[in-house]
Amino acid sequence: MNFQLSALRGFLLPAAEKLPFSDVVAITFTGITVVFLGLIILIIFITLMGKIFAAINKKGNENKTPPAEKPVITPAPAPVQTTQQPLSDSDDDEIIAAITAAVAMMSAQDGTTYKVKSIRQSRPSGGARPAWAMAGLRDNTTPF
């Protein structure tokens, strides 16, 4: 059995030759050079592909008709209230007018017509998150 193993060792594993230090340095340097050249080629390739696709997208966008100019919106200064008072019917009318004006501005920008059918206050059920918290959560967790 020892004879067979020693014969296989000589066949499969040639006699261990000690490589000179200069060969070890040359092999190491060649390996590192090949790896970095491959990385540089990949970087160049990906950059060129990005520029090509950007040019294609830009060319596709030029063929489309430009959107109509959007009106400049300047918000009115908000009234300052020093004391909190319960909302009255006139305040409800003002809130409805503000919401309707916002919807009208959106419809003017989109070029479509929207209609306000009803306005009601949202009430979180149970332990639901507020609308702003849900919007932030959705914005931060939506992939790309």
What pLDDT shows up at residue 129? Answer: 76
Higher pLDDT, 140 or 69: 140
Helix (H, G, I), strand (E, B) or coil at 79: coil
Residue 125 DSSP class: -
> What DSSP element (H or E) covers 48?
helix 21-63
Q: Does residue 98 contact residue 114 with C-beta atoms inside 8 Å?
A: no
Q: What percent of the chain has pLDDT over 70?
A: 63
C-alpha neighbours within 13 Å on the C-beta side of residue 5: 2
d(CA 137, CA 128): 13
Residue 5 CA, chain-centre distance (Å), reads: 60
What pLDDT shows up at residue 63? Answer: 63
